């Protein structure tokens, strides 16, 4: 039971007066700043970033509770909610937590706060606004926005006779490059392709395909998944071919560490990872090899549609006195500010959420000196706005990701065809979705825990700390 905790917010708590009371007002920020979230390196910088806010003014003091992974961050928030314990004022959550946070019924949509703040304007990148807008309102504020990338070793490309300035763009080009690498260096030396659900769903978006019905849950609540159609089958078959033909380094379900470590050790020519790892990869490859970054390869037999933005956003919790909600909003404005979205991406690898920052002299100069850091933004800008690239919106998405990994494993182990494995995963996902939909809004509803296999790579979790 939710014990009456999840009720409608008072209208006065939504349309706020933004004056700040005599301070300092102390608020709590639940941060996913460890493995399976931002990653340890980015998490440390995030805590320093929050401290810079505390040092810059005397009205609001933010106390950070670093819960590590996105999973643990949400589950700690959920446990407090169910137990009637004190709730944080701001919660950092990954993209797939969007529907779960909305269904908790304790959040204040940031659009309500924006509308109540005279003169406030934030030029969010349209793709990010598209993702986090639900029911006609921007629900949370994008903070650490990311996308999947192809990282490659230019030195290996030169060594085997590949063009280091022309990385593969399509699946066919990946296979062609791998044939060259493996012929020169042996099996398993071409590419790291982590068996995680994130890359599967990105491949669907690249093909313009939906992950779930009702336009990925964007026009009404998801009732069934759609990932077992032709684009999904083609994706699993391609991934399996990389392993079966000796192109991909062997790795287990949800394993980011093996591909990451092999690539950074110079043992593979390419790997897939999040832009959240860019700063870490840049630092670790320095003096060892020439690091290249490129768009995520796609199915060249389909029209290119683009990727779904990943990463995380921050949510304001409404069950607090009005002055504390105001203080939380002031902090969130700092995270989303021009200065904040200039500083955070440069030090992490995430791309800026604001279009004015993306074209600012500061970022233009930084990108000119560090061209790898611009690739994720270029990839996002190349995406075509659609329901496919908006991404799926349903509470059981984290569970569906794990089912995709199971399906891929069955195909790799010759236990099922791609179609059979995805059909089985779809049936299980649909049952979970049906159960959730029956309960949501009922007196017995409790938001489910988020479960995933956490790995130690920067920002790595198989429900994706991307």
Q: Which of 38-42, 81-85, 220-224 has the highest mean pLDDT?
A: 220-224
The architecture of the domain spanning 22-146+309-381 is 3-Layer(aba) Sandwich (3.40)
CATH number of 148-306+387-439: 3.40.190.10
User: What confidence tier does 327 reach under pLDDT thresholds 50, 70, 90?
Assistant: very high
pLDDT at 249: 95
What is the rounded average pLDDT of the residues 18-35?
79
Tell me what pLDDT residue 441 has.
57
Q: Do the bridges between strand 90-94 and strand 310-317 make them parallel or antiparallel, or are there none, so unpaired?
A: antiparallel
User: Average pLDDT, stretch 230-257?
Assistant: 95
- Sheet with 191-192, strands from edge to edge, namely 191-192, 270-274, 148-153, 291-294
Q: CA separation (Å) from 310 to 22, 201, 203, 439, 450?
A: 38, 11, 13, 28, 17
Q: How confident is the model at residue 22 (pLDDT cuts 50, 70, 90)?
A: low
Entry pTM? 0.88
Rounded distance, CA 347 to CA 280, Å?
10
Choose among 99, 95, 100: nearest CA to 75: 100
Cα–Cα distances (Å) from 405 to 48, 240, 254, 392, 395, in that order, read: 35, 12, 7, 17, 18
Q: Are strands 107-108 and 291-294 parallel, antiparallel or unpaired?
A: unpaired
Q: How far is CA 105 from the centre of its chain?
A: 22
> Is residue 402 scored above 90 in pLDDT?
yes
Instruction: Identify the pLDDT of residue 379.
Output: 95
pLDDT in tens, 64-107: 999 998 989 998 998 999 899 999 999 999 998 999 999 999 99
- All CATH 3.40.190.10 domain ranges in the chain, comma separated: 22-146+309-381, 148-306+387-439
pLDDT tens-digit profile of 378-399?
Answer: 999 999 999 999 999 999 998 9
Segment 118-145 shows an average pLDDT of 93
pLDDT the model gives residue 336: 95
């Amino acid at each position: 039971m939710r014990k009456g905790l999840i009720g409608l917010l008072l209208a006065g708590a939504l349309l706020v007066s933004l004056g700040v009371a005599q301070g300092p007002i102390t608020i709590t920020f639940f941060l996913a700043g460890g493995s399976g979230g931002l990653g340890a390196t980015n998490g440390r910088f995030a805590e320093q970033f929050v401290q810079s806010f505390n040092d810059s003014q005397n009205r609001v003091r933010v106390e950070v509770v670093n819960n590590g992974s996105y999973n643990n961050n949400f589950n700690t928030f959920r446990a407090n909610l169910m137990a009637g314990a004190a709730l944080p004022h701001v919660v950092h959550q990954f993209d797939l937590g969007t529907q779960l946070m909305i269904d908790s019924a304790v959040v204040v949509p940031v659009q309500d706060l924006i509308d109540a703040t005279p003169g406030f304007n934030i030029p969010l990148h349209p793709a990010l606004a598209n993702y986090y807008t639900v029911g006609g309102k921007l629900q949370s504020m994008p903070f650490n926005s990311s996308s999947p990338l192809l990282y490659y070793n230019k030195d290996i490309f030169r060594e085997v006779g590949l063009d280091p300035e022309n990385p593969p763009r399509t699946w066919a080009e990946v296979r062609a490059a791998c044939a060259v690498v493996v012929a020169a260096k042996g099996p398993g030396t071409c590419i790291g392709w982590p068996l995680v659900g994130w890359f599967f769903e990105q491949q669907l978006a690249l093909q313009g395909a939906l992950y779930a019905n009702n336009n990925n849950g964007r026009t009404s609540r998801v009732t069934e998944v759609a990932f077992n159609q032709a684009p999904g089958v083609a994706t699993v078959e391609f991934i399996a071919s990389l392993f079966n033909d000796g192109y991909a380094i062997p790795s287990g379900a949800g394993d980011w560490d093996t591909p990451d470590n092999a690539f950074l050790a110079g043992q593979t020519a390419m790997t897939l990872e999040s832009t959240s790892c860019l700063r870490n990869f840049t630092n670790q490859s320095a003096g060892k090899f020439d690091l290249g970054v490129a768009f995520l390869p796609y199915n060249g037999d389909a029209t290119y549609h683009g990727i779904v933005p990943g990463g995380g956003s921050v949510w304001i919790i409404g069950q607090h006195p009005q002055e504390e909600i105001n203080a939380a909003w002031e902090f969130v404005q700092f995270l989303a500010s021009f200065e904040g979205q200039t500083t955070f991406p440069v030090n992490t690898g995430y791309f800026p959420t604001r279009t004015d920052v993306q074209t600012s002299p500061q970022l233009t100069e930084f990108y000119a000196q560090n061209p790898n850091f611009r690739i994720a933004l270029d990839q996002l800008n190349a995406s075509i706005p659609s329901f496919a690239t908006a991404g799926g919106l349903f509470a059981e998405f984290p569970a569906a990701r794990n089912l995709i990994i199971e399906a891929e494993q069955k195909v790799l182990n010759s236990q099922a065809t791609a179609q059979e494995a995805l059909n089985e995963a779809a049936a299980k996902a649909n049952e979970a979705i049906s159960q959730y939909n029956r309960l949501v809004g009922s007196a017995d509803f409790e938001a489910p825990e988020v479960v995933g296999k956490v790995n130690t790579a920067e920002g790595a979790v198989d429900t994706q700390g991307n």
